[in-house]
Each structure stands twice: as structure tokens, then as C-alpha cells.
Chain A
């Protein structure tokens, strides 16, 4: 009976107070709310306000509320009867001792809850810190991962609660909150607890929106380097090496799968790849309807668009000083179009026109639509629906390989070949890259060509980084992320 009453009180409190206040008074926008899994999980977020737990509770549907528990500091929320009632009963919290007695494991109730299939909301910073500052995560989250192998962690970044109701303020103001949910993932449980906590923190930070612009002149766009070629493995190896070198000079984003970020501390994966938002799944459907092919078939076209949009978002220069791409959507699509659709019969002017269509500089004339829908649906979709404006890289690194040798190497690496990866087609694609490179050179893009077979990633990355730094110096005032 007591349990039933508690559950009724919890549901009534959330239905009548928490949800209306959070949704209508404060105003929360969720991004990728659907990522929150049905089963047991640990929702981990930055912590700046008492509102954080209430906002994270609204990520769960009402029916799951009795199985979702925010973890609340026992020393603070257990202090008075009022706080205890609100935090433990009405918010369904689980108390945690921040200063446990000797021999006591403060995480034990959480481990038990996770093992019994409950979902927890956890703030690894331990306390509400400075507004807008994400403090280092305590090792508790790492210890939970170690104790519950395979634990699904959902990173969430909350922006806004620190303004709505910061620490030390009596009155919350309705100013809006963004809850940016990341892809749930597991962490290897054999690592150090601190290291795990640091990786979780990086995943949470990867979801943070760029800082608001300050008045005055804008930072210049980042320097873009794209590594292209028909073989993905040497391309990705060179991308990582280049990102590491550039990272030593300024914050660098590597757009590959998974995305990487690099700074003085080295290269690391950023936020578990570039997932397609649910609201943009229609792009994949469009691609299926218009039968985009090969590398851009169906959902992969949506992924390419998502990556291109991420690249567009970096254009403002506030986040990264360098952007290195494992392939460039623009160069790859141009080479693809040249190889697959026009089979070398295109003249350069035509290729230049397609470049303008892809970069959004021009619209495909209405009378040409049918031709493009039939022959190059990827180009048409991007241009007609204005899905993304593909960026021309400042430096294009072209890795040349012999198609036969590339196929052989792919087989020896055990990679499953795709339908389009035939010797003839790869030769045409290589030829396409060559033509695109010539076109880019005439547009003032620096094109560096190397043989992929005997590629020394370290030496080549040093050369690419030197070119990038030269362009960076020529561009003038440094962008954001300068170290």
C-alpha cells in the first residue's frame, strides 16, 4: 500500500508540477530524445542547477518514471524533511553519501538498482559547480562501469539550467533549456575508473553547443584539409596522423567515422560518431525514393548530409581552427559523379557547374532537373532540397592507388567489398579524382598527391600540416581554438 501511494505521489507530482513547469514555464527543447533506451541505463549529464534532475526525468515517459532515479547527495537532500520528501519521494531519488564512512561503498545502492533493471540519472561532477563550467568528473561513474559490465551510458549536455536557476539564486527564471542527448554507449570495464570517467566527460562535452558569439568581428573560418582516395584505410590513417599534428597548433576536428578531435593532449574519438538525428531520417527515405547509389545509398546519404552539416556548422570558426576530413563530401561526390554518371564524357565546364551546384553557389535550372534526378540524384537532392552546402577544402590530399592492388589489400585486411568496388569502377573513380583535382587546382586549392601503396602517414601528415599552417598564417587573425 505504502509503495502504491509513493508511486501515485511520484506520478501526480510529475504530471501536475514537474512536467508542466519544465515544458511550459521553463521551456525545454530536446535533441535526440529517442536515444534514451528502454532498459537499464545510466544517464550522465553536466550539473549546474537543481533543475537538471527534473529536466532529465522528463526524458523518460511517465510509465517509466517509477524505474528512473536521480542520484541525490544524501548530505544535502537528507538535511531537512522538506528536501528529503521532494528529492527521495517525489523525485524518486536514490541517496548517495559523498563522504562515506570507512569500509562503506557509497555506490552499492546504485549498482543494485542498475542490476535490477532501473535507470539512473547521475551527475559525476558531484555538485553544482560554477555556472557554465563542466568540472572534472569524479571516478564514481568509472567505478559504476567497472561494477556493472556492459552498462549503457547515455551522455546528455544541458545548456540553460545554469542561467535559469544557478546556484545561490532563489528565483528561477524562464529562459529556456536545451537538452542534447547523445548516442548511448558502453565503455570497456577493464580500464582505470578515472580514465573511464574522463572518456564519459568527453562524450558529454562533445554534445555542448558552440559558445554564443561575442560582439565584434567574427573569427575566420577554419582551414580545411581533405584526404581523398579510393582506399579508406590509408585515408583514415593519414587523417588521424594529420589531426594529431594540427591539434598541437589549435583545436582540430577530424570528420571521419567516427569523428575525432585533437588538441595538445592528442587525438580522441568525439562522441561516438556522427549519428543522424531522428528528425532528419526523411533524408534517408528521400535517398531511397530517388535511388541514390553506391557510397550514398539510402541511409548513408543521410549520414553524408549530417557530416556535411557538421562541417558547415564549423564554418563560423568559433569551435575549431582546423578541420580535417576523411574524404570530402564535395570532392568525393564530384569524383563519383564523374566516374559513375558521366563516364569521362563530361567537360570541365560541366564539372565546374556541378561543383557550383554542390557548394550551393548555384541552383540546378528547373529544365535540368529530370536529367539530374535520373543520372545524379545525390547532386539533385542536395541542391534542390538545399540539404547542405558542401565546402571546398583549402588543401586536398589525393591518395592514388592501383585499383587491383587496392582490392587485393582490402581482401587481405578482411574487409567486405561493396558492390561498386570493382576493378573497372575503381579505375574510373581514380580517374574522376584526377579530374576533380585538376579542377580544384585551377580554383586555387592546393592539391597534394601521394601513392597510397607506400604511404608513410607520419611524413605525409607533417607535410600536410605544414601546408595547413602556412594557409593559416596567410589567413591572418587566428580562429577560435588557438592554443
Chain B
């Protein structure tokens, strides 16, 4: 008991809540994982969230000179796996290279907390640089496919990741709260079955549970992150909604890349499946916090 009390005093309560949530999710994930099928990925998903939880706590509390390279490495790995799965034309190599170089370029304004500069860099990259690079060189079919695939990769792993970087400048606790929201939004949906377009009703219980948990925990833990209870509740609902949308996107992307059947690109799709909902939700959560009075 004494040791527990020591941990409680040494660890900020919101971090403790995140750790406890991961510990609580572990038996669910491992038990579900033994069922196989779509549950096979559950232990891996939990492992991903242990790492991501550590990253978010680092971003929130550690010196940025340490946490930002960590974030950059995660984004690099994510983008690399994404481009492995997304076939683009051979002539788009320069656009891919620019997407990689864009990670440090987007993290610099995030490091300096310059949101406007970041948004301008993202807009310029997405709407000027990438289309330009794709239209240079010999004419090859499939430019629109390449454009869509590069857009999505850059949007998620550059822009989404850089918004996480901006969130690091928020008061401590808000990134941990974000991690808690995403975990709570994802766990029930993964256990019950992720909603799919046209089949939302079947997984309604998972959705309801996710929204309810996020709202309840948001109201309960909001004050620990410097948010009013109502703001915490609304934040939870917002993150649950955007994470669900991110899950739609992850599923559609997996289907597009042929990852929905057995024996395809082994193991490559798992990272996308785990990272996309959180990265998709990061900008929405940031703007929600910025809009709060």
C-alpha cells in the first residue's frame, strides 16, 4: 500500500489514470487476442498504445528537445509503412522524398508553437508542392491515384503528427487526456466490432459505449487537465466521433490497399490501423482546445 501511495504522489494523477487504463485494457486485449480473427491484433494494438502513451506523456512533460525527435521517428516509421502499402508511380519518387523531408519541416514550427506557420506549410505542401512534383517529368497514367495517396499520407503522418507537436505546448495533462479519450473510444469499438459504413447499427453498442465512456471520463478527468467538466465531456464526445471517423478511413484505406484478406502484405497494415484514428483526431482536438474560452 505504501508503495502504491508513493507512486500516486510521484506520478501526476492524469498520467496515473492513463497507466491504469492501459493496465485495465490489457486483460481485455489479451483475452480477446486469443479468440483470433479480427481480435488477433488486440495485443499488438495495446502494445502500440503503451508506446504511444509513452510518446504522448513525453510530449506533454519531457523537454521538447527529447520528445520531438521521438515524435519525428514515429512519424517516419508511419510514413514508411504507409508508402510501402500505397503503390505510387515510379516517377513520384521526388514527391515521396519531399513528404519525408516535410516531417522535420513541419515539426520545426510545431516546436516553436507557431500554428499559423505550420498550417501555411501544410497548405503549401499539400496544394502547391505535391501537385507540382506529381505533374513534373514524363507523363504516366495514374496521377490522380498518386495524388490521393500522397495527400492522405502527408495529411496523416505529417500534418496530424505536427498537430500533436503543437498540442505539446498545451498545459500538461491535455495530451494524456487525449490518449485516454482515444483508448476509450477505440477499445469498445474494437471489442464489439468496428463500425463500417452501412453497418453502423450492428456495432451500435460499441459506439454508444465508446461515446459514453469518453464523455463520462472527460467530465471526470477534465479538471486534472485544466478543463471544466463540461469542456472535458464535450472534448470526449468530439474525440470519440473523430476517432470513429478515423476508423472508417483506416478500414477504407486497408480495403483499397488489399489488406482485408489473408496473406497479403504481412504485418504492414497493422501500424496504419492503429495510428490512423489517433492522428486523424489530433487536429480536431487541438482546434477544440484552442476554441475554448
Binding site for B on A (CB under 8 A): 27, 29, 31, 131, 160, 163, 166, 169, 171, 173-176, 178, 209-210, 212-213, 215, 309-310, 312-313, 315-316, 318, 360, 384-387
The answer, yes or no, to whether B66 is at the interface (CB within 8 Å) is no
A189 to B40, CA, bound (A): 45
CB pair B97–A178 under 8 Å, yes or no, is no
The answer, yes or no, to whether B120 is at the interface (CB within 8 Å) is no
Tell me which residues across on chain B come within 8 A of A360, comparing CB atoms: 37
In the complex, chain B residues 232-262 whose Cβ is within 8 Å of any chain A Cβ: 256-258, 261-262
Q: List, sorted by A's number, 17 A–B pairs whose CB atoms are closer than 8 Å.
A: A27-B81, A27-B84, A31-B266, A160-B84, A173-B96, A173-B97, A174-B76, A174-B80, A175-B80, A176-B81, A176-B268, A178-B266, A312-B263, A313-B261, A315-B261, A384-B36, A386-B38
Tell me which residues across on chain B come within 8 A of A166, comparing CB atoms: 90
Shortest distance from the beta carbon of B134 to any chain A beta carbon, whole Å: 15
Knowing that A175-B84, A386-B37, A386-B38 touch, tell me 17 more A-B residue pairs with CB under 8 angstroms. Answer: A27-B84, A131-B90, A160-B84, A163-B90, A166-B90, A171-B93, A173-B97, A175-B96, A176-B80, A210-B258, A210-B264, A215-B145, A215-B256, A309-B262, A316-B258, A384-B36, A385-B35
A386 to B80, CA, bound (A): 30
Tell me which residues across on chain B come within 8 A of A387, comparing CB atoms: 36
Q: What 0/1 readout, one digit per residue, does chain B (73-88) give for beta carbons within 8 Å of chain A?
A: 0001100110110010
The answer, yes or no, to whether B199 is at the interface (CB within 8 Å) is no
> Per DSSP, are chain B's interface residues mostly helix, strand or loop, or mixed?
helix
Tell me which residues across on chain A come within 8 A of B262, comparing CB atoms: 309, 312-313
Tell me which residues across on chain A come within 8 A of B96, comparing CB atoms: 173, 175
The answer, yes or no, to whether B39 is at the interface (CB within 8 Å) is yes
Tell me which residues across on chain B come within 8 A of A171, comparing CB atoms: 93, 97
CB pair A386–B97 under 8 Å, yes or no, is no
The answer, yes or no, to whether B265 is at the interface (CB within 8 Å) is yes
Tell me which residues across on chain A come within 8 A of B264, comparing CB atoms: 209-210, 313
Shortest distance from the beta carbon of A316 to any chain B beta carbon, whole Å: 5
Tell me the nearest residue of chain B to A283, going by C-beta. B36
The answer, yes or no, to whether B267 is at the interface (CB within 8 Å) is yes
Tell me which residues across on chain B come within 8 A of A169, comparing CB atoms: 93
Choice from A31, A174, A384, A386 contacting B100 with Cβ under 8 Å:
A174
A312 to B263, CA, bound (A): 8
CB pair A386–B39 under 8 Å, yes or no, is yes
The answer, yes or no, to whether B135 is at the interface (CB within 8 Å) is no
Tell me which residues across on chain B come within 8 A of A175, comparing CB atoms: 80, 83-84, 96
Tell me which residues across on chain B come within 8 A of A27, comparing CB atoms: 77, 80-81, 84
The answer, yes or no, to whether B34 is at the interface (CB within 8 Å) is yes
Binding site for A on B (CB under 8 A): 34-40, 76-77, 80-81, 83-84, 87, 90, 93, 96-97, 100, 145, 256-258, 261-268
CB pair A386–B261 under 8 Å, yes or no, is no
Tell me the nearest residue of chain A to B80, going by C-beta. A174
Tell me which residues across on chain A come within 8 A of B87, comparing CB atoms: 212
Tell me which residues across on chain A come within 8 A of B84, comparing CB atoms: 27, 160, 175-176
Tell me which residues across on chain B come within 8 A of A313, comparing CB atoms: 261-264
Tell me which residues across on chain B come within 8 A of A312, comparing CB atoms: 261-263
Choice from A29, A173, A309 contacting B93 with Cβ under 8 Å:
A173
Shortest distance from the beta carbon of B288 to any chain A beta carbon, whole Å: 34
Tell me the nearest residue of chain A to B260, going by C-beta. A316
Tell me which residues across on chain A come within 8 A of B39, comparing CB atoms: 386
Tell me which residues across on chain B come within 8 A of A215, comparing CB atoms: 145, 256
CB pair A386–B93 under 8 Å, yes or no, is no
Shortest distance from the beta carbon of A220 to any chain B beta carbon, whole Å: 14
Choice from A29, A210, A213 contacting B257 with Cβ under 8 Å:
A213
Tell me the nearest residue of chain B to A387, going by C-beta. B36
Choice from B36, B76, B256, B266 contacting A213 with Cβ under 8 Å:
B256
CB pair B261–A178 under 8 Å, yes or no, is no
A315 to B257, CA, bound (A): 16
Tell me which residues across on chain A come within 8 A of B80, comparing CB atoms: 27, 174-176
Tell me the nearest residue of chain A to B96, going by C-beta. A173
CB pair B263–A386 under 8 Å, yes or no, is no
Tell me which residues across on chain B come within 8 A of A213, comparing CB atoms: 256-258
CB pair A212–B81 under 8 Å, yes or no, is no
Q: Most B CB atoms within 10 A — which of A163, A175, A360?
A: A175
Shortest distance from the beta carbon of B25 to any chain A beta carbon, whole Å: 21
A131 to B93, CA, bound (A): 14
CB pair A386–B266 under 8 Å, yes or no, is no
A345 to B93, CA, bound (A): 65
Tell me which residues across on chain A come within 8 A of B100, comparing CB atoms: 173-174
Tell me the nearest residue of chain A to B81, going by C-beta. A176
A189 to B77, CA, bound (A): 45
A412 to B38, CA, bound (A): 48
Shortest distance from the beta carbon of A482 to any chain B beta carbon, whole Å: 19
Choice from B40, B76, B266 contacting A29 with Cβ under 8 Å:
B266
Q: A173-B100, A176-B84, A210-B264 are in contact. Are A385 and B34 (CB under 8 A)?
A: yes
Tell me which residues across on chain A come within 8 A of B83, comparing CB atoms: 173, 175-176
Tell me which residues across on chain B come within 8 A of A316, comparing CB atoms: 258, 261
CB pair A386–B81 under 8 Å, yes or no, is no
Q: Most A CB atoms within 10 A — which of B34, B93, B96, B97?
A: B93
Tell me which residues across on chain B come within 8 A of A385, comparing CB atoms: 34-36
CB pair A212–B263 under 8 Å, yes or no, is no
Shortest distance from the beta carbon of B32 to any chain A beta carbon, whole Å: 11
Tell me which residues across on chain A come within 8 A of B76, comparing CB atoms: 174
Tell me the nearest residue of chain B to A132, going by C-beta. B90
Shortest distance from the beta carbon of B189 to any chain A beta carbon, whole Å: 18
Choice from A160, A163, A310, A384 contacting B263 with Cβ under 8 Å:
A310
Tell me which residues across on chain B come within 8 A of A386, comparing CB atoms: 35-40
Shortest distance from the beta carbon of A104 to any chain B beta carbon, whole Å: 38
Tell me the nearest residue of chain B to A160, going by C-beta. B84
Tell me which residues across on chain B come within 8 A of A384, comparing CB atoms: 35-36
Shortest distance from the beta carbon of A388 to any chain B beta carbon, whole Å: 8
A324 to B279, CA, bound (A): 44
Tell me which residues across on chain A come within 8 A of B258, comparing CB atoms: 210, 212-213, 316, 318
Shortest distance from the beta carbon of A347 to any chain B beta carbon, whole Å: 28
A315 to B263, CA, bound (A): 11
Tell me the nearest residue of chain B to A388, going by C-beta. B262
Tell me which residues across on chain B come within 8 A of A29, comparing CB atoms: 266-268
Tell me the nearest residue of chain B to A163, going by C-beta. B90
